[in-house]
Structure 1
Amino acid sequence: MQKIFFGNDCFPPCLLYSRGNAAIVFCACLPLLRWVKAFSTNNYFTQVDHARFLSLFKGAQPYGSNVEMTYYSVMGYSLLEEAVPEAAKACESVKAHVQADVDSLFYATSVAEGLKPSKVTCKISLNDMEQTLQDGLSEGSPSIKIYRAVAAMVNLGIKFDQQKLMTALNEALKADDGVLSHGYAFLAASYLSGDLHKYHDLIEDVIAQADEVDDKYLQFEGGLHTTAVVIDGAYKLATKVNAAPVFTDIGDKVVKFANYFVGRKHVQSLKNAAAVLSVIKTLTTNKFHVPVAVTLVSSVSVSDKEPTVKIRISDLLGGSLGKVTVTADTARHVEDDAVIINKKQLKPAASQSSVYELDLMSVKPARGFYRIMLSLVPEAPDKHLIGTSGAEVEVKVITQVTIEQVEIGVADKEQSGPTRTTKLQYPNKAANVLEADYHQRVTMTFQIRDKAIDQPMAAHQAFIRLTNQDTKQEIFYVPEPDSSNKYRFDLDVGAKSKDFGFLTGKYTIALIVGDVVIENPLLWNVADVYLTFPEGPTQPSYTGRYSKKPEIEHMFAKPEQRPPTATSVIFTVLVLLPFIILFAIWAKLGANVGNFTLSPSAVGFHVGLGAIFGLYYCYWLNLSMFVTLKYLGVIGIPTFLFGNKLLSGIAAKRK
C-alpha cells in the first residue's frame, strides 16, 4: 500500500493512509502560510490571470444575438488593452440586434467605443434613438437606467440637459437609497460638470455600509458586482471632482476592498470578470489611493538549500512602483515570539524587477514559522500609495532529521524491560524476524534528531504501522515522546488482540515520521515480527482489499397485521346502525316529505349532500386525504350554492 506525504505552499504536509477500503488523513493543525495581514494586499493580477481572462473573453465569440455578452467581451479586451479579434463581426452583430431601449443602446454604443482601439469604425443608428435615451433621463427612472442613458449619449456625442440629469438622479436616490443605486448614481454624476460635492459627500455614508469579513475583506451585501460598481463609481466621481473620497480608516478600508477584488479574480462569468478587471484597474490608476501588493514570490519553505525569501512589490496589476527601499522591520518566531531580525534592508533581486531578497538563513534561525514585518519607502515620494508599512508575510524554516538510538525487542508482560533487543541504524531493516505471543510485549524506542542544530526534537506526526503480510491489513499506533524527546512504543500483544482481529501471522513494523517543518519525511520498514494471538470469538473473513464483500439484503418493514374479519364486520354494522334506527323510526312515526319541492335547488342540494356522504365512504375505503379534498372541493361548491338557494326559498315562503 503506497503512503503519500503531501504538502504545498498553502497547506501543511499531511500523511495519507488506508486500512482496507477506508482512508485516513492526518494533517498538521497549523495556519495557512501564504497569509498577509490587511495592512497591505497579498495578491495581484498576474500574467497568468491576464491570459485566463483573455481566454474567458474570447469564449464569447462568435458574437451572436446577445448584445450584453458582446459588450462584456469587448469591454474585457479593452481593459486588458488587447485588440478584439473579429472586431468587424462584433460591430455587425450589435448593429443587427440592438433594440430601441436604454440597456441595449448602452451595450451597443459601448461596444462601438471599445472597438476604436482595434481601428474599427462602428456607427450605431436607430430610429428614435435619441428620444429613447432622453426618456431615460426622466424623473422616475432608476439610477442604473439614468447612468446607461447618459453613457450611451456620451458615446454617441449627443448633448444632454445637465439639470435634467441631476433632477433625475436626486429623485432616483430618494426612491432607492441602496448602495447599488448610489454606485450607479456616482457613475452617472461623473459625466456632469460644475459643483458635484453633494454627490461626492455621499461616498462616506455608502462606504460605511460595507461588511467586513475575516478582518481582511470588505464587501457590500449585493456581492461582487455591487461592490465593484460602488468602488468604481466612487473613484471615477472623485476623479471628476478632483477630490479624494473621504471616509474613516481610508488606508485600511481601501486595502480590504483591494483584498476582496484580487481574491475574486478566479470568477468564471463574463459580467463578473469585467467588473473585477474594471475596479482593479480603477484602484491602480486613480490618483488618490493606490494599494501596494506585497507578495511572497519564493517558496514559503526556507532551508539551507533555499535560504532566500523573495518579496515582490507592485501595484494590483503587477506594475512596478519604481525603485523602492524595502526593510524587514522584524522577523519573529511564531512559537516563542523571539525576534531574529531587526531593521534589515532587503536587496533588489538581480534577475527579477520589483523583487527584493532577504537571506533569512544567515541568522541561523531555529525550525518553525516566522512572521516578517515589512515596510517600504519609494525613491520618488508618493503619498497616494497605501500599504507601505505593516505588511506581514509568513514563512517556515524547515530542517532535515535523522532517526537515532533505535532499539526494538520483545519482553514478557511481567518484566519491566526487554529481554531481547536489537539496535538498528536507519535505513537498515532488522535481519531476523521477531516473535511474540499474547503473553509478551513488543517494545521500541527511538529519537528524532534535528541535523541543523544536532538536537533531539518532537515531530508533529510520528506513527508505528503494523501490516499483515498476507491480508495487507494495517494497524496504526502513536508513540509518545518523553521529556528528553525520546519516543517509546510498547505493544501488549494480548491486550491489543482485538485490534488485529485475533489474526496470527507475520507483520511488518514501519516507522513513519513527518512534520510541516521536516524537509525529509521518513517511511522506514524497521522489522518483521510474528505475532501469535489467542483464539478470538470469530475469525476474520477479510481476504483482501478487492475481495468480494458480503451481499447486503434490504429488509422491508413487515406490514401491520389486519384485524379479524368478524371485527371489521361488527364495526361496520355499528357504524350503519344509527342509519337503520333512523329509517325504522321514520317508518313507524311517518316521515313528512310534504314540504319537499322538486325545484333544481332542492334536488341539487340533496344530491350534493348524498354525494358528500358517498365521498366520505370512499375515503374510508381507499382514497387518500388529498384526493378526497380535491373531490370535496368539486362537490362542495355546487352543494353550498344549491343549499343557500333552497334555504332562501324556504325563508321567503314563511314570510
Structure 2
Amino acid sequence: MQLQILLGLLLSIAIVSCNGLTMSGYLSKVDKARLAGVFKASWPLDDAATAHYALLGLTTLGVDAPSGVCEVVKKSANPSNIEAAYHASVAASLAKPACSLGGALKGLEARLDDASLSAESLLQLVTTLKNEKLPLDAKKVRSVMDRLLKDDSSAGTVACVLLAGLRIGLDKADLAKFKGDMKDALLQADESDGQYLYYDKGVYTTALVTEALLKTTDKLGEAVAPADKLVKLANYLLSRRQIYQFKSAAQLLVALKSFADSSVQSPVVLFLKSGATLSKSSGSGVVSVQLADVWGRPVSPAGASMTLASAKNTGSGAVFLKDAAMSVALASERSVFNIDFMKAKPTVGFYQLAVSAKSSEKRFLFPASIALQVKVVSTVAVQSMEVAVADRDQQSAPVPVKLTYPAKAKSQLEADSHQRLSAKFQITMSGDNTPVTVHQAFIRLNHLTANKEAIFVAEPDKDKVS
C-alpha cells in the first residue's frame, strides 16, 4: 500500500470595488461574441424591425452581417406607416452593400404636419427622411420638438427630442436650451444599491436616454450630467449585458459605445491584468493593472499615473505597503501599470490593494480608489514525517518510523484489523523551512494490487497550530 500527502491550497480571485465613482465592469470579448451570436441567430430575417436591430447590433460590434436583408426591408417600405418606414430605412442603410429603397418612401415628409406626432415617431420620421435624402424642414422639426416637450417632459420624450435635434444638426446655442430638460430627465431615474441608475421602462429606455445625454454633451463640448450619475447608468447597462431581446440589446450596445467614444465624459475601468496569485517560489510577483473604457478597449490618457495607496494583509490587518508609485509597463502605451509586489518580501496570505489613478485629460472619469485582492503563495515541503502502527486499545505505545517524504520506508510496515495506522508531518515553506498552516491536507492510501484508494483528511495538531 502506498501513502501520499495531498495539500489543498485556497486560490484567490480578483475582486474590484471602488469608493466614489464605481465601475462594475466592461464589455468583454466574451460578451461581444455572445451578443453577436444573438443577432446572427435572427437569420433568415422575417421582418424589417428584426433586420434593423440585428444590423444595428452587429454594426456597433464591428461584425459583418449575413446577406438576405434587402428582400425583407423593401417589403416594409411603406410611407403610410412611419415606424415600418423607419425600420426599413435604417436596415437598408446598415446593410452591406447598402440597399436602395428606390424612392418607395417619397411623400413621407408630409407626416411632419401631423399634430398627433409622438416624440418617438418624430425621431423615426427625421431619421428616415435624412437616410432617404427626402425633404427635411428643420424649422418645422424644431417647432414640433418644443410642442412635444411642452406636453410631456418624461425622460423617453426628452431622449427622442434630443436625438431628433442632433439629426437635423442643431447648433450648440440651440442645444444648450435643452440643458434643463437633460437634468430633469436624470432626476426621473430610479437608483438601486447606490450603484445603478435606470428607468422603470427598462433597458431600452435607459440606453436611449444615455445615448441622447452623451451625444448631446459631446456636441455641446461640456459636461451637463453629474459624473456619478453617468457611471451609475453605465453600471446598470453593463449589469444587463446578458440580454437576448434584439431591440434592447442593440440599443444597449449603442449606449455603451457612446460612453467609450465620448469626448467629454468617458468612465475608466481599472482591473487586474496579471494573475491574482503571486508566487514566492517562482519570483512571479508583478501586479499589473489595466486602464480600459467600458467597451473593453485599453486607454492611455495623457499624463496618466497610478499609485498603490496601500497593501493590507487581510489576515493580520497590517498595512504592508503604502503610497507606492506604479510604473508604466510600456513607454509607448500608458494603459498598463506595474509594481513588483514581491520585491517588498510579503509573507504568504491574502492582500487587499488600494489602487488609485489619475490623468490630465478631464474627459476620463476615474474611480477615487479601487480594491484588488491578490494572494501570495509559496511551494511547500513535507517535513518531519512519521508513520506508526499501534494497537487500537493503545495498550502498547506505537513505534514511529521516520520518513523523508516522498521516499519510501526502509522497512515494511505490517498491520491487521486490530491495529491502527497513524501519520504525523509538518508543512513548511520551501527554502526557509518556515512552518505554515495550509487550508486542508489529505492523506491518500493506494492499494497497488487492487488498484483502489482511500483518502483521509489530516487534522492539525491543536497544540502546535496558532
Q: TM-score range by the shorter chain?
A: 0.7 to 0.9
1:138 aligns with 2:115: yes
Partner of 2:319: 339
CA separation in 2, counterparts of 1:125 and 1:172? 34
Identify which of structures 1 and 2 has the higher relative contact order when contacts are C-alpha pairs closer than 8 Å and 6+ apart.
2
The correspondence of residues 70-85 of structure 1 with structure 2, limited to 5 A, is 70-81=51-62
Give the secondary-structure state (helix, strand or coil) at the position aligned to 2:69. helix
**Which of these residues, 374, 399, 402, is aligned with residue 378 of structure 2?**
399
1:481 aligns with 2:461: yes
Give the secondary-structure state (helix, strand or coil) at the position aligned to 2:258. helix
The correspondence of residues 448-597 of structure 1 with structure 2, limited to 5 A, is 448-451=427-430, 453-465=432-444, 472=452, 474=454, 476-485=456-465
CA separation in 2, counterparts of 1:90 and 1:485? 70
1:451 alignment partner AA: S
CA separation in 2, counterparts of 1:311 and 1:341? 16
1:316 aligns with 2:298: no
Q: Deviations over 1:152-187 (max 9, x none)?
A: 3443442244223332344344xxx5x656654554
Partner of 1:533: none
The correspondence of residues 87-126 of structure 1 with structure 2, limited to 5 A, is 90-99=69-78, 100-115=80-95, 120=98, 122-123=100-101, 125-126=103-104
Give the Å deviation of 1:392: 2.5
CA separation in 2, counterparts of 1:162 and 1:171? 15
CA separation in 1, counterparts of 2:312 and 2:396? 44
Partner of 1:374: 355
Partner of 1:279: 255
Give the Å deviation of 1:402: 0.9
Identity of matched residues, %: 23
Give the Å deviation of 1:285: 2.1
Q: Is the 8 Å Cα contact of residues 112 and 124 (structure 1) preserved in structure 2?
A: no
Unaligned runs of 5+ residues in structure 2 are 1-6
Tell me the matched-pair count. 443
- Identify if the C-alpha distance between structure 1 residues 415 and 119 changes in structure 2 by more than 3 Å, giving closer, same or farther: closer
Give the secondary-structure state (helix, strand or coil) at the position aligned to 1:362. helix
Report the more deviating stretch, 159-168 or 272-281: 159-168
CA separation in 2, counterparts of 1:417 and 1:217? 69
- Identify if the C-alpha distance between structure 1 residues 482 and 352 changes in structure 2 by more than 3 Å, giving closer, same or farther: farther
- Identify if the C-alpha distance between structure 1 residues 369 and 276 changes in structure 2 by more than 3 Å, giving closer, same or farther: farther
CA separation in 1, counterparts of 2:396 and 2:152? 86
1:201 aligns with 2:183: yes
Give the secondary-structure state (helix, strand or coil) at the position aligned to 2:50. helix
Give the secondary-structure state (helix, strand or coil) at the position aligned to 1:79. helix
- Identify if the C-alpha distance between structure 1 residues 127 and 190 changes in structure 2 by more than 3 Å, giving closer, same or farther: closer
Q: Is the 8 Å Cα contact of residues 109 and 124 (structure 1) preserved in structure 2?
A: no
Q: Deviations over 1:329-370 (max 9, x none)?
A: 222222223222222222222498322221111111111222
Partner of 1:355: 336
- Identify if the C-alpha distance between structure 1 residues 165 and 223 changes in structure 2 by more than 3 Å, giving closer, same or farther: closer
Give the Å deviation of 1:210: 2.6
1:419 aligns with 2:398: yes
CA separation in 2, counterparts of 1:313 and 1:418? 64
- What RMSD over aligned residues (CA atoms) do the two structures have, in Å? 3.7
Give the secondary-structure state (helix, strand or coil) at the position aligned to 2:415. strand
Q: Deviations over 1:502-555 (max 9, x none)?
A: xxxxxxxxxxxxxxxxxxxxxxxxxxxxxxxxxxxxxxxxxxxxxxxxxxxxxx
- Identify if the C-alpha distance between structure 1 residues 352 and 166 changes in structure 2 by more than 3 Å, giving closer, same or farther: same
- Identify if the C-alpha distance between structure 1 residues 122 and 416 changes in structure 2 by more than 3 Å, giving closer, same or farther: farther
1:202 alignment partner AA: D
Higher Rg of the two aligned structures = 1
The correspondence of residues 283-294 of structure 1 with structure 2, limited to 5 A, is 283-294=259-270
1:109 alignment partner AA: S
Q: Is the 8 Å Cα contact of residues 139 and 172 (structure 1) preserved in structure 2?
A: no
CA separation in 1, counterparts of 2:432 and 2:14? 24
- Identify if the C-alpha distance between structure 1 residues 224 and 449 changes in structure 2 by more than 3 Å, giving closer, same or farther: farther
> Could you state the TM-score of these two structures normalised by the residue count of structure 2?
0.80
**Which of these residues, 398, 412, 422, is aligned with residue 432 of structure 1?**
412
Q: Is the 8 Å Cα contact of residues 218 and 262 (structure 2) preserved in structure 1?
A: yes
Give the secondary-structure state (helix, strand or coil) at the position aligned to 1:457. coil
Q: Is the 8 Å Cα contact of residues 210 and 221 (structure 1) preserved in structure 2?
A: no
Q: Is the 8 Å Cα contact of residues 373 and 392 (structure 1) preserved in structure 2?
A: yes
CA separation in 1, counterparts of 2:254 and 2:356? 28
Give the Å deviation of 1:456: 1.0
1:152 aligns with 2:128: yes
Give the Å deviation of 1:243: 4.8
CA separation in 1, counterparts of 2:141 and 2:24? 45
Partner of 2:310: 330
- Identify if the C-alpha distance between structure 1 residues 93 and 398 changes in structure 2 by more than 3 Å, giving closer, same or farther: same
Give the secondary-structure state (helix, strand or coil) at the position aligned to 1:144. helix
- Identify if the C-alpha distance between structure 1 residues 31 and 399 changes in structure 2 by more than 3 Å, giving closer, same or farther: closer
Give the Å deviation of 1:267: 4.4
1:454 alignment partner AA: N
The correspondence of residues 235-314 of structure 1 with structure 2, limited to 5 A, is 235-240=214-219, 243-247=222-226, 250-251=227-228, 253-304=229-280, 305=282, 306-314=284-292
